[in-house]
A = this chain, B = another copy of it.
Amino acid sequence: MAEHAIVGVDAGGTSTRCVVAALDGTVLGCGRAGGANQYSSPDPAASLRAALDEALTAAGGVRVVGSVFGMAGASEAGHARATETATRAWNALEMPGEPYVTDDICAAFAAGSVADQGTVLIAGTGAVAAYVRDGAVAWRCDGDGWLLGDEGSAVWIALRGLRAVLAALDGRGRPTALRERLAAALEVPPGERERIIEAVYPRHPAELGLLAPEVTAVAGEGDAVAREIVAGAADALLASLTVAAGERFGADPVVLAGSLLSEGPVADAVRAGIRARHGAVPLRASEGALGAAALALRWAGSSLAARSTLLRAGLPPAT
């Protein structure tokens, strides 16, 4: 008889990852595909199906007894649509039962901690903090997108960097090394205000997050303007985290996820801030697909040890 296994899926805007794991936490198979964000990806169900198919094929003959899909935009208003998309991919592969669909925020928390509840702070292109309980978001701060929020995110940092360059050029702001660095990244001559504006507006604002590493690098080199932007990002992220955690800060685990919080000056400042304000040491999230799989293991009745084994395993490198 085939081995009992669970499935975990993490579906974001640019990629989808799927893990098949045994009930003892051993990774049996892994699959990757394009994005499956229901608002921005061309065919989310096809991406989910491709990642699932690859992981199940790699795992060989297993009997799936549970699954969790952590999907971007699956909270609140987007939940019904995300569930429909996930179910379509699931049924297309003739899988038994129904997938459990939750927010990718919950998968990120579960990728850093096996606790039932706690706080997660995610900062990459966007930024959100949430208090998570039993695989669901209990309270959420920010995550309001590039125009209305995502304070402290890569897009937020990049926009502040660009505004600082324009202010330096017209005399409103102080001189900054960002002037040369961001012009080079945009492939325009430094000091030409109009060329910067022309280079920025045709892009989708979410793409501008790619400029954030330039700002954090210049901050690391000591530029005062860039350092203030980085400090402001860390403050904004800490403020969201503090409100999301509420009175439980320090009692429950805190998980950090997203590219900005893995390393670099924003990650350093946020970690230092959490220690200073709350005496807590944050955990680092592993892959979101492992977090989704860990939730599936928990609901399949696996032990804490099995879930810890899974999270420590990591994903095999992409082939």
The reply to whether B149 and A166 contact each other, CB–CB distance below 8 Å, is: yes
Please indicate the chain B residues that have their CB under 8 angstroms from the CB of A77 in the complex: 194-195, 198
**Cross-interface CB contact of A170 among B141, B147, B172, B193, cutoff 8 Å:** B141
The reply to whether A201 and B142 contact each other, CB–CB distance below 8 Å, is: no
Please indicate the chain B residues that have their CB under 8 angstroms from the CB of A239 in the complex: 172
Confirm or deny: A171 has a beta carbon within 8 angstroms of a beta carbon on chain B.
yes
Please indicate the chain B residues that have their CB under 8 angstroms from the CB of A194 in the complex: 76-77
CB-defined A-B contacts under 8 Å, sample of 15: A76-B194, A77-B198, A142-B167, A142-B172, A144-B166, A144-B193, A147-B159, A147-B201, A147-B205, A148-B159, A148-B162, A148-B166, A149-B163, A170-B243, A172-B243
Confirm or deny: A140 has a beta carbon within 8 angstroms of a beta carbon on chain B.
yes
Confirm or deny: A145 has a beta carbon within 8 angstroms of a beta carbon on chain B.
yes
Please indicate the chain B residues that have their CB under 8 angstroms from the CB of A163 in the complex: 144, 148-149
Nearest residue, chain B, Cβ from A240: B172
Q: How far is the CA of A39 from the CA of B200 in the complex (A)?
A: 15
Confirm or deny: A95 has a beta carbon within 8 angstroms of a beta carbon on chain B.
no
Please indicate the chain B residues that have their CB under 8 angstroms from the CB of A76 in the complex: 193-194
Confirm or deny: A197 has a beta carbon within 8 angstroms of a beta carbon on chain B.
yes
Residues of A with Cβ closer than 8 Å to B?
A: 76-77, 139-142, 144-145, 147-149, 159, 162-163, 166-167, 170-172, 193-198, 200-201, 205, 239-240, 243
Please indicate the chain B residues that have their CB under 8 angstroms from the CB of A240 in the complex: 172
Please indicate the chain B residues that have their CB under 8 angstroms from the CB of A171 in the complex: 139, 141, 243
Please indicate the chain B residues that have their CB under 8 angstroms from the CB of A195 in the complex: 77
- Counting chain B CB atoms within 10 Å of each CB, the highest count among A147, A162, A240 belongs to A147
Nearest residue, chain B, Cβ from A236: B172
What is the CB-to-nearest-CB distance from A75 to chain B, in angstroms, rounded to a whole number? 8
Please indicate the chain B residues that have their CB under 8 angstroms from the CB of A243 in the complex: 170-172
**Cross-interface CB contact of A148 among B142, B145, B148, B197, cutoff 8 Å:** B197
What is the CB-to-nearest-CB distance from A37 to chain B, in angstroms, rounded to a whole number? 14
Ranked nearest first, the 8 interchain pairs of A and B with the lowest CB-CB distance are A77-B194, A171-B243, A141-B170, A76-B194, A144-B166, A172-B243, A148-B162, A148-B163
Please indicate the chain B residues that have their CB under 8 angstroms from the CB of A193 in the complex: 76, 144
**Cross-interface CB contact of A200 among B139, B148, B196, cutoff 8 Å:** B148
Please indicate the chain B residues that have their CB under 8 angstroms from the CB of A162 in the complex: 148
